[in-house]
Structure 1
Amino acid sequence: MTMRNSADEIAQRSRQIIRGQKHLEGPMLPILHALQAEFGYIPDIVKPVIADELNISRAEVHGVITFYPEFRDHPGGRHILKICRAEACQSMGSDDLADRVRQLLGIDFHQTTPDEAVTLEPVYCLGLCACAPAAMLDGEVYGRVNEHCLSEIVGELGR
């Protein structure tokens, strides 16, 4: 769904998604993941819809969205590149990798390239501590990432 849709269309589609997930125990996170998969982020206009459908406050919805760094409140790029910033990866050189990728892309963390190709995000553990440093591109994880590997990953993004 493109964001050229009207607010009513977005709200209607959101209600369909929410109603398909709200039967789950603890449905908030699955709902948010489904909404982000649909829209590419969590639009502000869906927060009251979530609150209404789950019979909770808008503040509660906002609190969950802002607590988890996985959720975005603005559109991301066509590709999402995450660099692990946890201690194990830092000890194996992820700070240098982060500097290099910021240089290659010309953006900082939480930013998207001007051509909307790549959004760069920090992540605080990909579970690959034994293979540090780690990165993730569009859900695919990479371990033992070095500058050469990182340059290849960035080079293949179709920018």
Structure 2
Amino acid sequence: MTNQNTAEQKIIKKKVMIDSKADLVWYAWTKSDRVSQWFAGKAIVEPEVGGKYELYFEPGNEVGNCTKGCTIIGLEPFKSLSFTWKGPDPLAELMNQSSKLTEVNVKLQEIGEQTEVTVTHTGWGEGQEWQRAIDWHVMAWDQVLSSLKSALEAGEGELCCQP
């Protein structure tokens, strides 16, 4: 996994190579039942611009620790997906207001029998609390991409960010 995060730039950028064709990686990000196998226990994904990109990390909790209200803001089938993002409950006051949502872009590039997945997370604010949010998401995106890789290569994804 490649890390390219710089606090100065306020960008998180992560890359991973997955032994899978791009269409399967695409479906892992855009089909609710597949997202719920490796990312969050429940997912509501409507793969169209303006559609929902809602992940629920705690079973039965549809208020906290979720991305309820997040939407897809960009979509190029089998190549890129962009959506708004909310942080976990400890960061909710800082980053979960509709005017402060960050953005995640997922790009896929098929290289032979593998797919390079690049996640870029932007829209961070300034200050110590925002740096705490960035640091937390650096860790979380490592977990997410590791789970995606395991799910697609071995069928053993682990849900992210469990309490």
Scaled by the length of structure 2, what TM-score is found?
A: 0.28
Bigger CA radius of gyration: 1
Scaled by the length of structure 1, what TM-score is found?
A: 0.29
More strand by share: 2
More helix by share: 1
Higher relative CO (CA 8 A, sep ≥ 6), structure 1 or 2? 2
